[in-house]
Amino acid sequence: MKVACSICNEMIDTTTMSTYVKVVGWAEWKNDRVIGNIKNPSTPVGYAHKTCVESPKSRDQIALF
């Protein structure tokens, strides 16, 4: 599937590229941080390149909605 990256707006081919998806779900919170896996995740509400998500400047650019 081809979709636009939520961070850089470039196209992503999800079948051939490392892709992150944005979901809404439940995560366990302990000592001011998320631990474990996301429980009951929604269907994807956004897509992003792995490099866009993992780059230091992108952390400020990612919005929940």
pTM of the model: 0.73
Q: Which amino acid is at 42?
A: S
Q: Is the pLDDT of residue 65 over 50?
A: no
Full domain range(s) for residue 36 = 2-60
| 59: three-class secondary structure by DSSP | helix
Residue 65 lies in a domain: no
Q: Is the pLDDT of residue 17 over 50?
A: yes
Domains in the chain: how many in total? 1
DSSP letters spanning 32-48:
TEEEEEEES--S-SEEE
Residue 51 lies in a domain: yes
Q: Is the pLDDT of residue 57 over 90?
A: no
Residue 52 lies in a domain: yes
Confidence of residue 25 (pLDDT cuts 50, 70, 90): very high
What are the structure tokens assigned to 17, written together? Answer: 């590229």
Q: Is the pLDDT of residue 8 over 70?
A: yes
